[in-house]
């Protein structure tokens, strides 16, 4: 028997492709959306085409650059067709926007490849960068900085809203060409670059109100700085999105790049060879902006313009398609993507949080810890998508390697460890492995919250929601737990006594049920 899997997939999902025709690179992002409202990154391709290279004062995209663009777009179009893309968006940014022959270049690309591109205005590019960041980082206030090849977008966010913006014609490619490409430009070229940028920033009166805010870094320059830093400090978590890079370390990387010739930069861990010639200009721009604004550092965003285009499409357009609760949305998305048994997850979360609330006099935690517990309980069975056998370990791997938007890296590690505690796991080596991210007392937090998930999971062992309510009475030496049930809960109570043996060790009291419940 032959099954048409592609047709079955079409019924369940659609695929959206976004091509960003940038000054330095041309990037394709494929996003898959499900009928249940879920979405995921399907694939990404980046090609360094440098269409903004050597445009000169006449602002003309040269024939070799057009040829590279056509060749790259044709490749990406073929890849998109192979992945059955249903909807395609093509956007062009600074190089095409500023070129006198930009429209003609896009006509040539359309004639040669069949794909149409829309030239984004500076405001549109800034807005899409903001949408990409605001929908994936739980940041209330910050300065979004998108350094591309031919422009830099600055967006001031207050209370998660875009309040001021600017698009400046300075990017890593043209800053390199104008200030650092001449032989012997060296320190003098960097000084001229920084002076040029500071003059432009002083023209933005609103930028003063961004003083002291984190920079929310978008684009290849920002991602490269983050990757270099992670390699230098042997960072334990393999996630770039949400990574914080302090200003002092940005300055140190900038000094490292300044003292190296281009060929030597190609061997820096974390830096792609294609960016070695333009990374110094981008890094110098970031370093100067950090000093200009007095910012403590950069929060790297793995989402930008392409993701912003997707979110506008996904949320149906409107004046501001931004989710209110990034982490909550991401957790719900995970539950759909990994086919979590929703009723069981909700019951485990309900019982976990009930235990948390009633034991607050013992553990002393607050709303932040409660929120982490709720997320961990909802996601504790994520690893079942791989295998039921040792699924708590699969849950741990997924949560530590897939991106949970809206959580800090510390929160991500804590949620993953708490969720994994509902099964057998050696916590000590894991706590040591992520010691560079965790803080003092987090080991105790994981054990205390982890055991609540384990207890709640056992109290729904039949996955029938038989335990409707838990009532805890805290004594001097024990916690008496009374179950209000809608049917026989003997299986649940037996499983709890069999599997939860360290409550006394973690909380300093033993738990028991009234004799009539056992």
Buried-exposed string 151-176: b where 16+ CB fall within 10 A, e elsewhere: bbbbbbbeebebebbbbbebbbbbbb
Q: Which residues pair with 469 in a beta bridge?
A: 484
Asked if the model's pLDDT at residue 514 lies above 50, the reply is yes
Tens digits of residue pLDDT in 168-197: 999 999 999 999 976 656 778 999 999 999
CA distances 333 to 133, 168, 279, 464, 489, Å, are: 17, 36, 35, 24, 32
Phi, psi of 264 (to 5 degrees): -75, -35
For residue 316, what pLDDT is reported?
77
Tens digits of residue pLDDT in 408-434: 999 999 999 999 999 999 999 999 999
Answer whether 197's CB lies under 8 Å from 289's CB: yes
Measured in residues, the chain has a length of: 518
Q: Where are the alpha helices (DSSP H) in 359-475?
A: 360-363, 367-379, 391-401, 409-420, 427-433, 442-458
* Class of 123-306 in CATH: alpha beta
Q: What is the pTM of this model?
A: 0.93
For residue 515, what pLDDT is reported?
62
For residue 184, what pLDDT is reported?
58
Distance CA 120, CA 480 (A): 64
Compare 375 and 499 and report the one with higher pLDDT: 375
Q: Where in the chain is the domain with CATH 3.30.420.40?
A: 5-119
Answer whether 468's CB lies under 8 Å from 460's CB: no
168 SS3 class = strand
Asked if the model's pLDDT at residue 11 lies above 80, the reply is no
Answer whether 198's CB lies under 8 Å from 168's CB: no
Assigned CATH topology for domain 5-119: Nucleotidyltransferase; domain 5 (3.30.420)
Tens digits of residue pLDDT in 138-150: 999 999 999 999 9
For residue 183, what pLDDT is reported?
65
The lowest-confidence range among 73-77, 132-136, 177-181 is 177-181
User: Tokens representing 516?
Assistant: 């009539």
Mean pLDDT, residues 23-39 taken together: 93
Asked if the model's pLDDT at residue 6 lies above 70, the reply is no
> What is the edge-to-edge ordering of all strands in the sheet holding 297-300?
161-168, 152-158, 142-147, 215-218, 297-300, 244-246
Res. 498 pLDDT band, cuts 50 70 90: confident
DSSP of 467-503, one letter per residue? EEEEEEEE-SSEEEEEEEESS--HHHHHHHHHH---H
Distance CA 222, CA 271 (A): 11
Domain 327-517: CATH superfamily is Hypothetical protein af1432 (1.10.3210.10)
Tens digits of residue pLDDT in 456-469: 999 999 999 999 99
For residue 5, what pLDDT is reported?
37
Answer whether 406's CB lies under 8 Å from 327's CB: yes
The lowest-confidence range among 162-166, 195-199, 447-451, 507-511 is 507-511
Q: Where in the chain is the domain with CATH 3.30.420.150?
A: 123-306
How remote is the C-alpha of 439 from its chain's centroid?
21
Mean pLDDT, residues 248-257 taken together: 96
For residue 431, what pLDDT is reported?
96
Tens digits of residue pLDDT in 94-114: 899 999 999 999 999 999 999
User: Tokens representing 349?
Assistant: 């979360």
Residue 346: CB atoms within 10 Å = 16
For residue 1, what pLDDT is reported?
42
User: Tokens representing 464?
Assistant: 């029938």
Q: Which residues contact 187 (CB under 8 A, 6 or more apart)?
A: 258
Asked if the model's pLDDT at residue 275 lies above 60, the reply is yes
Buried-exposed string 426-463: b where 16+ CB fall within 10 A, e elsewhere: eeeebbeebeebbeeebbebbbbbbbbbbbbbbbbbbe
Mean pLDDT, residues 293-317 taken together: 93
Q: Rounded to 5 degrees, what angle do the CA atoms 257, 401, 367 make? A: 105
Look-up: residue for tokens 């940038």?
Answer: 22
H/E stretch holding 26:
strand 25-34
Asked if the model's pLDDT at residue 12 lies above 90, the reply is no
Asked if the model's pLDDT at residue 317 lies above 70, the reply is no
Q: Where in the chain is the domain with CATH 1.10.3210.10?
A: 327-517
């Amino acid at each position: 028997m032959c099954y048409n899997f592609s047709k079955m997939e079409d019924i369940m999902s659609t695929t959206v492709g976004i091509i960003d025709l940038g000054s330095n690179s041309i990037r394709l992002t494929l996003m898959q959306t499900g009928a249940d409202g879920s979405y995921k990154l399907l694939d990404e391709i980046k090609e360094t085409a440098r269409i903004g290279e050597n445009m000169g004062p006449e602002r003309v995209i040269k024939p070799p650059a057009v040829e590279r663009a056509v060749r790259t777009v044709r490749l990406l179009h073929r890849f998109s067709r192979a992945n059955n893309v249903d909807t395609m968006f093509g956007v062009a940014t600074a190089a095409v926007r500023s070129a006198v022959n930009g429209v003609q270049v896009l006509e040539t690309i359309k004639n040669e490849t069949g794909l149409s591109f829309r030239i984004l205005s500076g405001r549109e590019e800034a807005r899409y960068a903001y949408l990409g960041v605001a929908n994936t980082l739980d940041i209330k206030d910050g300065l979004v900085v998108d350094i591309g090849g031919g422009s830099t977008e600055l967006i001031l966010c207050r209370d998660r809203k875009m309040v001021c913006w600017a698009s400046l014609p300075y990017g890593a490619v043209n800053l390199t060409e104008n200030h650092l490409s001449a032989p012997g430009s060296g320190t003098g070229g960097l000084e001229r670059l920084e002076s040029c940028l500071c003059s432009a920033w002083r023209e933005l009166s609103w930028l003063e109100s961004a003083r002291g805010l984190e920079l929310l870094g978008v684009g290849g320059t920002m991602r490269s700085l983050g990757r270099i830093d992670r390699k230098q400090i042997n960072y334990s978590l393999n996630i770039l999105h949400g990574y914080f890079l302090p200003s002092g370390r940005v300055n140190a990387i900038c000094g490292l790049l300044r003292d190296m010739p281009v060929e030597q930069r190609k061997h820096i861990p974390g830096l792609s060879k294609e960016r070695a010639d333009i990374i110094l200009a981008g890094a110098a721009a970031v370093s100067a902006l950090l000093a200009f604004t007095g910012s403590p550092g950069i929060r790297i965003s793995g989402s930008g313009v392409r993701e912003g285009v997707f979110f506008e499409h996904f949320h149906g357009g409107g004046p501001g398609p931004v989710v209110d609760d990034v982490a909550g949305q991401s957790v719900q998305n995970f539950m759909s993507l990994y086919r979590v048994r929703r009723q069981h997850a909700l019951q485990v979360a309900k019982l976990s949080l009930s235990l948390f609330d009633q034991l607050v006099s013992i553990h002393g935690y607050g709303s932040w810890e409660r929120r982490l517990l709720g997320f961990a309980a909802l996601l504790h069975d994520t690893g079942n998508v791989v295998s039921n056998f040792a699924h708590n370990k699969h849950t741990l791997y997924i949560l530590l390697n897939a991106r949970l938007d809206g959580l800090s890296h510390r929160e991500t590690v804590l949620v993953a460890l708490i969720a994994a505690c509902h099964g057998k796991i050696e916590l000590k080596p894991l706590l040591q492995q992520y010691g560079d991210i965790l803080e003092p007392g987090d080991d105790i937090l994981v054990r205390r919250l982890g055991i609540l998930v384990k207890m709640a999971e056992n109290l729904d062992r039949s996955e029938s929601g038989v335990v409707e309510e838990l009532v805890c009475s805290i004594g001097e030496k024990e916690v008496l737990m009374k179950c209000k049930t809608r049917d026989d809960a003997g299986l649940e109570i037996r499983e709890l006594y069999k599997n939860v043996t360290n409550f006394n060790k973690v909380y300093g009291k033993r738990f028991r049920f009234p004799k009539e419940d056992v």
